[in-house]
Amino acid sequence: MARHWSFAVLQAQTPEIVQVKVDAAKQIATATKLFDGTNIEDLNNQTNGGIFSQLIHGEAFEENIDIDFLNLPVSDYVKVYVVLDETRRPHLLSVANSYTRINWNNLGEKYDFNSKDIYNSVAESLQPRQRRNGETEPPRPPLQIGSLRFYERFMPFDSIPANIRTILLDHINGNEQISRYWTKIVTGTAKGQFELKRGNAYMGRQDQVVRLQSGTGEFGIYNCGLNKQGINLVKGTTL
């Protein structure tokens, strides 16, 4: 039997020298001093630039109200989120590990989870579990985060202590609807309203609206970085 061999030969060639001539005397435009450039990252096609640069957390105001009033340590604070059902009733959601991250509804929806799905999930967690070998085992115990008890991923509204429910409803429907990771700043006699407005958002699924209604002074919100632990800014550095 005859064998045929095929060879491919790559021949290196000496590249030509490329020269780039810069004429510094020729001005084609003037850039504003406020321009600091942008950086395109392959992270959901986002554009980062300026002070954002991962320093500000919750910059799109996607999250609901904060749970800072629970006074949880940071290790537990990062595990609990507020979610709304179709009636704007708040529930607590555990994001205790990478498998329980929040998956928001379609941006056109004005709620996070359907109440039926929440209560069905809790009901299923209370049922004995069937193993592959046909045997059954008791339900998993609830996940304990501080004094909060989560069945599967949720702590439904009805299971939340009455005093916490009152605070949640006041923050959801009152004048201090402030997205998680942000904090209000009010000075002088300034009075106004903070609102989280769903639908037709400038970016994402909701807008953070700040309304100054009367008085003088400062009325707004500020950001302290990831989990409100502070932003490292160097004194004397121009940003």
The per-residue pLDDT for 171 is 95
The upper half-sphere exposure of residue 39, i.e. CA atoms within 13 Å in the direction of its Cβ, equals 9
The ranges assigned to domains in the chain are 40-127+139-228
pLDDT digits (tens, 9 = 90+) for 136-190: 888 889 999 989 999 988 999 999 999 999 999 999 999 999 999 899 999 999 9
What burial letters (b/e) apply to 170-204, b meaning 16+ CB within 10 Å? ebbeeeebbbbbbeeeeeeebebebbbebeebeee
pLDDT surpassing 80 at residue 94: yes
Nearest Cα neighbor of 82 from 144, 211, 207, 170 is 170
Closest CA to 207 of 221, 186, 190: 221
Q: What is the SS3 assignment for 169?
A: helix
Whether this prediction's pTM lies above 0.75 is answered by no
Each residue of 53-75: pLDDT tens digit? 567 888 888 889 999 999 999 88
The C-alpha atoms of residue 146 and residue 130 are separated, in whole angstroms, by 30
- Residues 178-231 pLDDT 10s: 999 899 999 999 999 999 998 788 777 889 999 999 999 999 999 888 788 887
Residue of 181, 122, 131 lying closest to 154 (CA atoms)? 122
Predicted confidence band of residue 134 (pLDDT cuts 50, 70, 90) = confident
